[in-house]
């Protein structure tokens, strides 16, 4: 296939911080007087923090001044960070280190491509930061997936052309972003939802070394 670099999404791919985002959004919703369900939380996958708050306020039929909006954004993030503070390497999803270690041993450059503004802190908490040659997160992009900006910046930082990159993603918007960048897209999760991916796996336990070798050969 000629893949020369790999880009990883963070939430739902390397670690599952989605549960902490959900709890923080749920706490804010409850504070504002309404419920926020796991089903509704599906709308937040791969979406920027600001857009998430807009959706949440729509769900609760709550209007906010710009000052309130900014304050609630900060409150939600502080709540989320309190959960993140307690993270450790036990939160890494199964067999992710196996794949990272193998690619590192082959000298394959790797980047993180995530909407999270807390990506570096999370990777430090779970001791995976040294694997990555570039971090592209919510602090360095202006366009949300399915816009390919986050992955194109990652490829550029690694010095590899987009068509020679492969992306691991768990969200449909992320798969669409990878496809829009003309990269190889690898879906992690429900194949029915991620049907546009070039390859699909339920999780990293299904990814064997032979598959990686075929991509990079």
Active site residues: 9, 11
| Packing angle of the helix pair 66-84, 49-60 (nearest 10 deg) | 110
DSSP states of 32-98 as a string? TT----HHHHGGGTT--HHHHHHHHHHHHT----HHHHHHHHHHHHHHHHHHHTT--GGGBPTTHHH
Q: Which residues contact 160 (CB under 8 A, 6 or more apart)?
A: 4, 5, 109
Neighbours of 45 (CB within 10 A): 20
- The alpha carbon torsion through 134, 194, 186, 17 (nearest 10 deg) reads 40
**Distance (Å) of CA 4 to CA 8, 23, 181, 206, 213:** 14, 38, 15, 21, 11
CB contact at 8 A, 142 and 153: no
Q: Is 106 helix (H, G, I), strand (E, B) or coil?
A: coil
């Amino acid at each position: 296939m000629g893949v020369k670099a790999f880009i990883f999404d963070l939430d739902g791919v390397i670690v599952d911080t989605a549960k902490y985002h959900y709890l923080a959004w749920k706490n804010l919703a409850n504070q504002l007087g309404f419920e926020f369900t796991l089903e509704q939380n599906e709308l937040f996958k791969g979406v920027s923090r600001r857009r998430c708050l807009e959706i949440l306020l729509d769900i609760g039929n709550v209007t906010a001044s710009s000052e309130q909006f900014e304050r609630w954004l900060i409150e939600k993030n502080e709540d989320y960070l309190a959960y993140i503070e307690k993270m450790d390497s036990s939160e890494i999803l199964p067999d992710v280190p196996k794949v990272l270690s193998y690619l590192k041993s082959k000298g394959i450059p790797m980047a993180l491509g995530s909407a999270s503004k807390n990506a570096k802190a999370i990777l430090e908490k779970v001791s995976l930061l040294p694997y990555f040659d570039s971090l592209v997160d919510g602090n360095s992009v202006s366009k949300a997936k399915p816009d390919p900006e986050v992955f194109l910046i990652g490829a550029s930082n690694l010095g590899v052309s987009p068509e020679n990159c492969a992306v691991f993603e768990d969200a449909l918007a992320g798969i669409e972003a990878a496809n829009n960048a003309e990269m190889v897209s690898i879906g992690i999760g429900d194949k029915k939802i991620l049907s546009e991916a070039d390859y699909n796996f339920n999780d990293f336990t299904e990814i064997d070394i032979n598959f990686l070798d075929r991509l990079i050969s």
